[in-house]
């Protein structure tokens, strides 16, 4: 398949923004040769309260020459919320739908126009102000995929506050760590949420997190809670909740029994706060390089990194990548399935689409509820034109064959996007042929929390380079470390509160370059294929994790003396976790212990990090100096006997024992 070329069907896109490869090349060339002019032109479509003063872009990308610094449009002032909402409303788009909201339950849906969104955002910005939130303060968001989540994010930007969204699948410990690191003043959440058939009691998790954060020295001042469950409970009753609410449905019983924990001094209901809030809120003009948001991503030391994005550059980049990569035209309906808790949700559910005045679908549910054709049903319902999802979702839906797809009319689709991990050819072909009927273009978008937006094909302004282990540039076909030579507007500026870690993580390995941590292969035509992480990161269902954080969670168990975690390929998740555990002397490795360990990872990090396999290891393969040789463990986990050079191991005999005890894999 790698040798086959699939061209976009000409009937699909009579008027794309970029009409040919030639035109792309011309634009790309200009973005590289005259980046300031290129982005300055793009900046003209937005509102700047004051223009930029010095240079349009200034930076130092070389640690050997001084601190890393990246600045776009320094001196300019603006407000992102103003650009996303007020500007569009003023341009006559007030009645245009910003979001179609589709709940977990198909009966539960609504819509929000640009004008109504603006009113809600202003009201909530006033609520935040009443809670003492000022410019620069951090506001944590632990929410389901509901309209209020977008409202909170934009309300923050309206007053210059910095949002820190935490994916509502993270455990209370993970949330606590993020509250503490960001010193978030306010936390916004909902009482709970249904995800498929499962109930998540979010407020309970928040309470545990706030308590933990307080114990470690940071107290969240206010917690604002959206009442979300009663609405869902009400809609359940439509299909006869009385009948179902018996022993067959413990989850539903749990929902009816759920008493939302409450602290009168700290907690407030969303509706009570919004009731009297004024719907007018003048935007706070902020500097181009003032912080916009923080988003935590896994770090190889185990402690998550608060990736910081700033205002002007991120706006330009989110808007421009969205427009060109998805070829979004006015009137189109766009749907990105990512949760707002990840960067994809930030840039391509919220900022990119709204900056283009787009109409999007915001989906709360899961692809398998109430049936395996839910995604396709939603595409049909809203006549979606651009659909953006992850290979892991495609693979999990492919399993059910073409029948659930064929039940729905997907003829509205024009562009299909893929993100989060390398897409395998089987999944690509199914996406192309079955979902896209062999007509839609597929955009494979490589990027990271740190990059702020898409960086491949390469996108405008992006200069990818391949380096070998010694930092020597690989010209022409070959494989190596994927690095970037200069900043584009949307790249992160620092790690919150730790600029040194920022420099060490991304700029020390190869001075003069931003190191992505990924590897890539350049083919004969110059196309770059991402090969995956080259560091201690794992990619489970498109979620990045570090071996260190999973090992940390397991090592805390009293029965464990040593642990090593590696990734192995998984047919649906892309990669999954395989953990090797050495127990303390006299402690037996039992299925019960294995369950306990798995639970520990769920509690410390979140359910999505739960290991696929926990294997007992009487000892671990180590070098003579005592370093665990993960390379060998990775091979064992894959049952691959091509171990390479093992002469440096202190004791080779453990290898056979580990192979012999390898649990049966699916
Ligand atoms: C991986 C998600 C191959 C990569 C936007 C990267 C991909 C990490 C792709 C970032 C892709 C993301 N092809 N690999 N199209 N997209 N990745 O920060 O390893 O959650 O470094 O951002 O996901 O994950 P993050």
pLDDT at residue 237 greater than cutoff 50: no
Ligand 1 atom closest to the Cα of residue 342 is 20
Percent of the chain at pLDDT > 90 equals 83
Q: How far is CA 287 from CA 43, 75, 76, 115, 294, in A?
A: 15, 6, 6, 26, 16
ipTM value of the model?
A: 0.99
Note the pLDDT tens digit of each residue in 413-469. Answer: 999 999 999 898 899 999 999 999 999 999 999 999 999 999 988 999 999 999 999
Q: Cβ neighbours of residue 348 under 8 Å, at least 6 residues apart?
A: 318, 322, 336, 338, 388
Does ligand 1 come within 6 angstroms of the Cβ of 347? no
CA 516 / ligand 1 centre spacing (Å):
10
Question: What is the separation of C-alpha 513 from the centre of its chain, rounded to a whole number of angstroms?
Answer: 24
Helix 172-182 vs helix 591-604: angle between axes, to the nearest 10 degrees?
30
Does ligand 1 come within 6 angstroms of the Cβ of 337? no
Which pLDDT value is given to residue 5?
Answer: 85
Does ligand 1 come within 6 angstroms of the Cβ of 422? yes
Given the structure tokens 């692809």, which residue do they identify? 367
Does ligand 1 come within 6 angstroms of the Cβ of 385? no
Does ligand 1 come within 6 angstroms of the Cβ of 574? no
Q: How confident is the model at residue 470 (pLDDT cuts 50, 70, 90)?
A: very high
pLDDT at residue 43 greater than cutoff 90: yes
Phi, psi (degrees; rounded to nearest 5) at 251: -65, -45
Rounded to the nearest integer, the mean pLDDT of the chain is: 93
Helices (H), 168-223: 172-182, 202-215
Which of 180, 182, 204 shows the shortest CA–CA distance to 137? 182
pLDDT at residue 231 greater than cutoff 80: no
Output the residue whose Cα is nearest ligand 1's atom 14. 421
Which pLDDT value is given to residue 233?
Answer: 46
Q: Tell me the mean pLDDT in the region 508-518.
A: 97
Which pLDDT value is given to residue 239?
Answer: 43
Q: Cβ neighbours of residue 166 under 8 Å, at least 6 residues apart?
A: 140, 141, 142, 174, 175, 178, 296, 341
Report the C-alpha gap between 295 and 304 in whole angstroms.
10
Pair of tokens at residue 571: 């047919």
CA angle 438, 368, 172 (to 5 degrees): 125
Output the residue whose Cα is nearest ligand 1's atom 25. 448
Q: How confident is the model at residue 334 (pLDDT cuts 50, 70, 90)?
A: very high
pLDDT at residue 241 greater than cutoff 70: no
Between 14 and 214, whose confidence is greater? 214
Report the C-alpha gap between 521 and 481 in whole angstroms.
9
Which pLDDT value is given to residue 252?
Answer: 76
Q: Tell me the mean pLDDT in the region 585-611.
A: 94
Between 626 and 515, whose confidence is greater? 515
Q: How confident is the model at residue 243 (pLDDT cuts 50, 70, 90)?
A: very low
Q: How confident is the model at residue 666 (pLDDT cuts 50, 70, 90)?
A: low
Q: Tell me the mean pLDDT in the region 311-325.
A: 98
Q: Which of 337, 346, 446 to mutate to test the pocket of ligand 1 (most atoms within 8 A of CB)?
A: 446
Which pLDDT value is given to residue 2?
Answer: 57
Instruction: Kindly report the number of other CB atoms within 10 A of residue 665's CB atom.
Output: 13
Q: Which of 395, 421, 531, 609 to mutate to test the pocket of ligand 1 (most atoms within 8 A of CB)?
A: 421
Yes or no: say if 131 and 186 are a contact pair by the CB < 8 Å rule.
Answer: yes
Ligand 1 atom closest to the Cα of residue 444 is 15
Report the C-alpha gap between 322 and 334 in whole angstroms.
10
Q: Hey, is 188 helix, strand or coil? A: strand
CA 292 / ligand 1 centre spacing (Å):
22
Q: How confident is the model at residue 548 (pLDDT cuts 50, 70, 90)?
A: confident
Which pLDDT value is given to residue 240?
Answer: 39
Note the pLDDT tens digit of each residue in 64-92. Answer: 999 999 999 999 999 999 999 999 999 99
Does ligand 1 come within 6 angstroms of the Cβ of 419? yes
pLDDT at residue 245 greater than cutoff 50: no
Which of 376, 450, 379, 389 shows the shortest CA–CA distance to 416? 389
CA 418 / ligand 1 centre spacing (Å):
10
Residue-wise over 421-441: b if at least 16 C-beta within 10 A, else e? bbbbeebbbbbbebbbeebbb
Which of the residue ranges 267-281, 290-304, 614-628 has the most confident prediction, judged by mean pLDDT? 267-281
pLDDT at residue 159 greater than cutoff 70: yes
pLDDT at residue 238 greater than cutoff 70: no
Q: How confident is the model at residue 230 (pLDDT cuts 50, 70, 90)?
A: low
Q: How confident is the model at residue 13 (pLDDT cuts 50, 70, 90)?
A: low
pLDDT at residue 186 greater than cutoff 50: yes
Which pLDDT value is given to residue 542?
Answer: 87
């Amino acid at each position: 398949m790698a040798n086959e070329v699939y061209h976009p069907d000409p009937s699909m896109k009579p008027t794309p923004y970029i009409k040919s490869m030639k035109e792309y090349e011309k634009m790309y060339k200009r973005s590289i040769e005259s980046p300031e002019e290129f982005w300055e032109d793009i900046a003209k479509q937005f509102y700047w309260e004051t223009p930029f003063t010095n240079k349009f872009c200034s930076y130092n990308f070389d640690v050997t020459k001084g601190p890393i610094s990246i600045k776009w449009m320094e001196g300019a002032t603006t407000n992102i919320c103003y650009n996303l909402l007020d500007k569009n409303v003023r341009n006559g788009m007030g009645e245009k739908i910003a979001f179609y909201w589709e709940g977990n339950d198909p009966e539960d849906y609504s819509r929000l126009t640009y004008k109504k969104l603006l009113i809600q955002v202003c009201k909530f910005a006033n609520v935040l102000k009443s809670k003492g939130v000022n410019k620069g303060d951090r506001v944590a968001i632990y929410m389901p995929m509901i309209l209020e989540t977008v409202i909170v994010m934009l309300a923050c930007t309206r007053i210059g506050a910095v949002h820190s969204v935490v994916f509502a699948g993270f455990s209370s410990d993970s949330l606590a760590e993020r509250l503490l690191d960001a010193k978030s003043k306010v936390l916004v959440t909902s009482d709970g949420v249904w995800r498929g058939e499962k109930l998540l009691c979010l407020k309970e998790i928040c309470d545990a997190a706030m308590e933990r954060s307080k114990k470690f020295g940071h107290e969240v001042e206010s917690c604002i809670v959206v009442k979300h469950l009663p609405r869902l409970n009400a809609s359940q009753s439509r299909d006869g909740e009385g009948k179902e609410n018996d022993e067959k449905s413990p989850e539903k019983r749990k929902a009816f029994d759920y008493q939302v924990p409450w602290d009168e001094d700290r907690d407030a209901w969303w509706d009570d706060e919004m009731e009297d809030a004024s719907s007018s809120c003048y935007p706070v003009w902020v500097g181009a390089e003032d912080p916009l948001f923080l988003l935590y991503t896994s770090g190889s030391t185990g402690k998550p990194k608060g990736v910081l994005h700033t205002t002007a550059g991120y706006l330009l980049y989110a808007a421009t990548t969205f427009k060109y990569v998805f070829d979004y035209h006015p009137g189109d309906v766009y749907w990105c399935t990512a949760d707002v808790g990840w960067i994809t949700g930030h840039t391509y559910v919220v900022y990119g689409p709204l900056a283009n005045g787009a109409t999007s679908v915001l989906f709360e549910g899961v692809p398998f509820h109430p049936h395996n054709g839910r995604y396709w049903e939603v595409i049909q319902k809203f006549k979606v034109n651009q659909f953006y999802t992850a290979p892991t979702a495609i693979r999990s839906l492919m399993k059910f064959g073409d029948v659930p797809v064929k039940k729905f009319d997907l003829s509205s689709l024009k562009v299909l996007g893929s993100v989060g991990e390398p897409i395998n050819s089987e999944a690509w072909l199914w996406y192309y042929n079955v979902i896209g009927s062999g007509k839609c273009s597929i955009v494979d978008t490589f990027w990271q929390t740190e990059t702020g937006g898409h960086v491949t094909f390469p996108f405008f302004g992006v200069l990818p380079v391949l380096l070998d282990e010694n930092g020597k540039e690989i010209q022409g076909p070959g494989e190596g470390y994927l690095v970037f030579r200069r900043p584009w507007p949307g790249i992160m500026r620092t790690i919150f509160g730790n600029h040194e870690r920022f420099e060490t993580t991304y700029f020390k390995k190869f001075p003069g370059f931003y190191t992505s941590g990924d590897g890539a292969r350049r083919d004969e035509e110059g196309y770059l294929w991402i090969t995956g992480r080259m560091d201690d990161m794992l990619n489970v269902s498109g979620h990045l994790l570090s071996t260190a954080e999973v090992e940390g969670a397991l090592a805390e168990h009293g029965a464990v003396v040593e642990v090593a975690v590696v990734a192995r390929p998984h047919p649906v998740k892309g990669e999954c976790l395989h953990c090797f555990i050495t127990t303390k002397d006299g402690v037996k490795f039992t299925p019960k212990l294995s369950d306990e360990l798995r639970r520990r990872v769920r509690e410390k990090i979140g359910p999505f990090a739960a290991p696929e396999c926990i294997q007992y290891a009487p000892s671990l393969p180590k070098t003579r100096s005592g370093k665990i040789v993960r390379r060998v463990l990775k091979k064992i986990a894959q049952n691959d006997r091509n171990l390479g050079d093992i002469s440096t191991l202190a004791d080779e005999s453990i290898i056979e024992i580990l192979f012999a005890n390898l649990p049966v894999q699916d």
